[in-house]
């Protein structure tokens, strides 16, 4: 009986439990603004659902719809100016160096391309007066990835359900009326791209084809639209009459109807635009049409929950009233009434957005994930890799969503090709390099302006995600075939790129020309670069040892790594951002670049107490305010500093309603639909907040003096979360952890080893060694004493 009881406890820990509405976003009126609409996505197609009454709008994206087309951004011959730029910087002539770089070293063109909206799915519902609507509700159910709208009009209850299916590659809209014949609507597919045409495919199907608009990407730079797309809409399973015209379809006299939307582009890969969008969309649509709407939904939910249900988090005792409150109102109320599970909702929302944004066959999550309605979006909705793209993917490994890394790793393989050209033309170096942005055409050269665009460690930072995937999964085939070749190429670039500092008695090797994102201008030797390059070299060395390859390269990297300029502590007790001690204690810039070694790096930890203290001082100097993503990074920093209350303070600041008439706050926070506000919307803050919660609950980046993995339980638990439980979190070296705590103290935990590696489990001052075989598990009490194993 005891064994059965323990098994039941484990099952409860490892199976998500949902109170009604617990993991839902709830609203009592339609969205008026885009940042009030609800996102659905299958990694390639996404839709923002407004939940209208007389007219519904689904704003639709497809991840390969971008301005421009295949293009080399490298500037031939730029490398001949590298030495002179460095010389000017060493002489303190920063402005002259920047001017030379502007003329001779930057990308061609100077700016990259924009992610684009594709089309809208518009539904005009007949016979409904919005002023007479009653009992309106809309929600986004995170556990089923479904947006639902219900209301009563003319004494008839209407329901509309929207989801984006990954297994069937379509967006599905089901409409129902509880009175026979009461459902009537017209559906159309307008697009903001002016060169478009509509066509009737058959008696139930219409298609919108378009060529992406030409774009002014900045200054004198223009881009000719080359991406073509096709969106096909079909009505199935309706008991009403269907009439199809050239650009719309009308359904009348119905009780129910299901719409299927498929889309594709001519983008075969970053250098090839020969795909047939109409044929690809037709293939997906025809295959989905073979299935019933019920089957489509079951397949969608099963696929989504296989990922979403891997992790569960519940915090404290949020009232039933709060769980039923409109989400935007709940954000406001949480500032005066304790709502600990709101943080859990934000945590789960980040996981939901990752599953929706980044799946095989699509592109990586960009600055807005998958969703964008603007032809000229903020920062082009590109991939900004001096923090933002990396922050997007911090959550994947600890939240057991390793598959969602697939699009990012595929993009890195393409970037290694374009980046090799940039390495050759700009630096006369082997390997590959990526600066602070890339787009669908994998631009890798320095863009925008020399004072922040020449930052060559973006690719090196992204390589950390390759190594982390190996550490979490132990997948040596992935390491050998995918990760190591990319890491090796990046390391070979920096082995050639690092320059000896003539100003240093120790002849340190430094990075440059570069900058400390995104301030201070063009310099030699920013601390962030050195931390990233040391990490890249260390990981490449370790990977070569695992694979038993490249002895000579390993020795070279070991020698070079030892010569890279070390972290410096300045006159304010701070970690220096540059080699020079010039940090301003009044500087509250959103970037905290020089703390990379604290997070996501691993070189600054309690094992380096002076640097650990200096990093804390730097973070105090920058303050707790900032843009949404900056606040999210600070949550992770404070968690690594083991200060749970400070981490929660910053997280609570992020969980503030912004950009709404209901709130006076206009800074970094959350919009009504919980999208992160830079402002404007940037999705990295959502993902970074989820990562921060992971870091507050479990950390595994440290090793013991004996070289064993150290798994720390509740290292930064805030007093605001006196009770809770989490299950399914993953750690480095392949462990899965479930924890329950009460009165701010660990009550029990369950640990499963997936790889059979040794580790040390720690809670406060308590430690116990784990020697579990592959797929073996153990349960322990508050004193880390084993209570059961299997």
Q: What is the DSSP secondary-structure string of 4-66?
A: HHHHHHHHHHHS----TTTTEEEESS--SSGGGSEEEE-SSEEEEE---SSEEEEEEEETT-B
> Which helix (H) or strand (E) is 176 found in, with range?
strand 170-177
pLDDT tens for residues 460-513?
999 999 999 999 999 999 999 999 999 999 999 999 999 999 988 889 999 999
The total number of residues written for the chain in this structure: 790
Other CB atoms within 10 A of residue 417 CB: 13
217 part of a folded domain: yes
Short-list 554, 672, 680, CA closest to 628:
680
Same domain, 683 and 710: no
From 289, 305, 321, give the residue that closes a domain.
305
**Domain-located, residue 640:** yes
Confidence class for position 421, pLDDT limits 50, 70, 90:
very high
Q: Is residue 315 part of a domain?
A: no
Total domains in the chain come to 3
How does pLDDT run across 624-639, given as a tens digit for each residue? 999 999 999 999 999 9
Q: How far apart are CA 175 and CA 193, in angstroms?
A: 28
**Is the domain of 278 the same as that of 407?**
no
Look at residues 217, 229, 224 and name the one whose alpha carbon lies nearest to residue 380.
Answer: 217
pLDDT tens column, 705-737: 999 999 999 999 999 999 999 999 999 999 999
CB atoms within 10 A of CB 194: 11
Q: How confident is the model at residue 6 (pLDDT cuts 50, 70, 90)?
A: very low
The CATH number covering residue 593 comes to: 1.50.10.10
DSSP reduced 3-state for 648 = helix
Q: Which of 394, 446, 444 is nearest to 418 (CA)?
A: 444
Q: Other CB atoms closer than 10 Å to residue 477's CB: what's the count?
A: 8
Select from 622, 655, 689 the last residue of a domain: 689
Same domain, 370 and 462: yes
Q: What is d(CA 317, CA 337) in angstroms, rounded to the nearest whole number?
A: 12
How far apart (Å, rounded) are the C-alpha atoms in residues 130 and 369? Answer: 32
Do residues 511 and 560 touch, judged by C-beta distance below 8 A? no
Residue 390 lies in a domain: yes
Question: Sign of torsion, CA 646 648 649 654?
Answer: positive
What pTM does this model have?
A: 0.96
What residues make up the domain containing 636?
78-113+341-689
Assess if residue 320 is contained within a domain. Answer: no
Partnered with residue 258 across adjacent β-strands are 174, 236
If asked whether residues 97 and 212 sit together in one domain, one would say no
| Domain end call among 249, 278, 305 | 305
Mean pLDDT estimate for the chain: 95
Reduce the secondary structure of 525-564 to three states and give it as a string.
Answer: CCHHHHHHHHHHHHHHHHHHHHHCCCHHHHHHHHHHHHHE
Helical pair 551-563 and 527-547, crossing angle rounded to 10 deg? 160
Do residues 52 and 169 share a domain?
Answer: yes
Question: Is the domain of 210 the same as that of 346?
Answer: no
What residue has token string 């509405």? 21
**Residue 712, by phi and psi: left (phi above 0), alpha (psi -120 to 50) or beta?**
beta
Q: Is the pLDDT of residue 5 over 70?
A: no
- The domain that holds 769 is classified in CATH as 2.60.40.1180
Asked if residue 775 belongs to a domain, the reply is yes
How far from the centroid of its chain's Cα atoms is residue 502's Cα? 40
**Domain shared by 200 and 260, yes or no:** yes
207: CATH: 2.70.98.50
- For residues 499 and 580, membership in a common domain is answered with yes
Asked whether residue 92 falls in the same domain as residue 19, the answer is no
Residue 95 lies in a domain: yes
Task: Say whether both 59 and 88 belong to one domain.
Answer: no
290 Cβ partners below 8 Å, 6+ apart?
none
Residues 6 or more apart whose Cβ sits within 8 Å of residue 602: 535, 701, 702
Structure confidence at residue 8 as a pLDDT band (50, 70, 90): very low
Label residue 661 by pLDDT band (50, 70, 90).
confident
For residue 695, give the H/E element and its range: helix 684-697
Same domain, 503 and 647: yes
State the greatest distance between any 2 C-alpha atoms of the chain, in Å, as a whole number: 86
Q: Quick one: pLDDT at residue 631?
A: 96
220 with 171, same domain: the answer is: yes
Structural domain includes residue 158: yes
């Amino acid at each position: 009986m005891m064994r059965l009881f323990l098994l039941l406890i484990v099952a409860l820990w490892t199976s998500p439990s949902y109170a009604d509405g617990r993991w839902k976003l709830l609203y009592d009126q339609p969205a008026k603004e885009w940042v009030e609409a609800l996102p659905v996505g299958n990694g390639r197609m996404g839709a923002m659902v407004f939940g209208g009454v007389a007219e519904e709008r689904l704003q639709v994206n497809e991840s390969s719809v971008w301005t421009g087309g295949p293009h080399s951004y490298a500037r031939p011959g730029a490398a001949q100016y590298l030495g002179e730029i460095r010389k000017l910087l060493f002489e303190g002539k920063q402005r002259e160096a920047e001017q030379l770089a502007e003329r001779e070293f930057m990308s061609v063109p100077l700016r990259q391309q924009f992610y684009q909206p594709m089309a809208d799915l518009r539904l005009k519902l007949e016979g409904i007066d919005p002023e007479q609507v009653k009992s309106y509700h809309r929600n986004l159910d995170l556990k089923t990835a479904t947006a639902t709208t219900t209301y009563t009009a003319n004494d008839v209850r209407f329901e509309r359900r929207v989801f984006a299916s990954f297994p069937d590659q379509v967006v599905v809209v089901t409409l129902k009326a509880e009175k026979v014949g009461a459902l009537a609507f017209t559906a159309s597919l307008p697009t903001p791209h002016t060169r478009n045409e509509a066509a009737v495919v058959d008696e139930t199907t219409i298609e919108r084809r378009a060529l992406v608009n030409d774009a002014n990407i900045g200054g004198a730079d223009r881009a000719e639209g080359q991406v073509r797309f096709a969106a096909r809409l079909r009505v199935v399973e309706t008991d009403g009459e269907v009439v199809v015209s050239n650009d719309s379809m009308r359904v009348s006299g119905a009780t129910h109807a299901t719409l299927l939307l498929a889309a594709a582009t001519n983008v075969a890969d970053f250098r090839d635009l020969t795909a047939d969008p109409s044929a690809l969309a037709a293939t997906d649509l025809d295959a989905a049409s073979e299935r019933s709407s019920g089957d489509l939904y079951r397949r969608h939910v099963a696929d989504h929950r296989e990922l979403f249900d891997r992790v569960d988090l519940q915090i404290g005792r949020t009232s039933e009233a709060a769980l039923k409150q409109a989400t935007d109102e709940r954000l406001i109320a949480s500032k005066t009434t304790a709502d600990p599970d709101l943080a859990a909702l934000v945590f789960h929302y980040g996981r939901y957005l990752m599953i929706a944004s980044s799946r095989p066959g699509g592109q990586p999550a960009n600055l807005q994930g998958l969703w964008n309605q603007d032809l000229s979006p903020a920062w082009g909705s590109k991939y900004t890799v001096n923090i933002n793209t990396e922050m997007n993917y911090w959550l994947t490994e600890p939240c057991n969503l390793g598959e969602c890394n697939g699009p990012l790793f595929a993009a890195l393989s393409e970037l290694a090709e374009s980046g090799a050209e940039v390495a050759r033309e700009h630096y006369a170096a082997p390997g590959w390099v990526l600066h602070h942005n890339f787009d669908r055409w994998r631009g890798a050269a320095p863009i925008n302006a020399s004072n922040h665009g020449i930052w060559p460690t973006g690719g090196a930072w992204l390589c950390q995600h390759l190594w982390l995937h190996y550490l979490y999964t132990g997948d040596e085939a992935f390491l050998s075939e995918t990760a190591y070749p990319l890491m090796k190429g990046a390391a070979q670039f920096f082995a050639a790129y690092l320059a000896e500092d003539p100003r240093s008695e120790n002849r340190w090797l430094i990075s440059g020309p570069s900058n400390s994102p995104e301030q201070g201008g063009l310099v030699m030797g920013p601390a962030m670069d050195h931390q990233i390059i040391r990490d890249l070299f260390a990981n490449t060395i370790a990977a070569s040892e695992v694979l038993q390859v490249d002895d000579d390269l390993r020795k070279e990297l070991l020698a070079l790594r030892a010569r890279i300029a070390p972290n410096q502590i300045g006159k304010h007790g701070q970690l220096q951002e540059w080699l020079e001690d010039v940090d301003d204690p009044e500087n509250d810039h959103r970037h905290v670049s020089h703390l990379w070694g604290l997070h996501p790096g691993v070189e600054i930890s309690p094992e380096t107490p002076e640097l650990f203290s200096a990093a804390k001082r730097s973070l105090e100097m920058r303050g707790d305010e900032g843009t949404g993503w900056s606040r999210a990074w600070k949550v992770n920093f404070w968690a690594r500093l083991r200060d749970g209350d400070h981490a929660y303070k910053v997280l609570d600041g992020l969980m503030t309603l912004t950009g709404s008439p209901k709130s006076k706050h206009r800074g970094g926070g959350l919009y009504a639909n919980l999208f992160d506000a830079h402002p404007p919307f940037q999705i990295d803050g959502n993902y970074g907040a989820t990562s921060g919660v992971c870091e507050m609950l479990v950390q595994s980046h440290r090793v013991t003096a004996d070289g064993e993995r150290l798994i720390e339980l509740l290292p930064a638990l805030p007093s605001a979360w006196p009770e809770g439980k989490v299950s399914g979190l993953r750690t480095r070296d392949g462990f899965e952890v479930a924890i329950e705590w009460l009165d701010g103290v660990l009550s029990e935990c369950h640990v499963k080893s997936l790889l059979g590696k040794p580790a040390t489990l720690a809670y406060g001052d308590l430690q116990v060694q784990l020697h579990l075989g592959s797929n073996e598990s153990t349960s322990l009490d508050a004193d880390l004493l084993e209570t059961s194993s299997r």
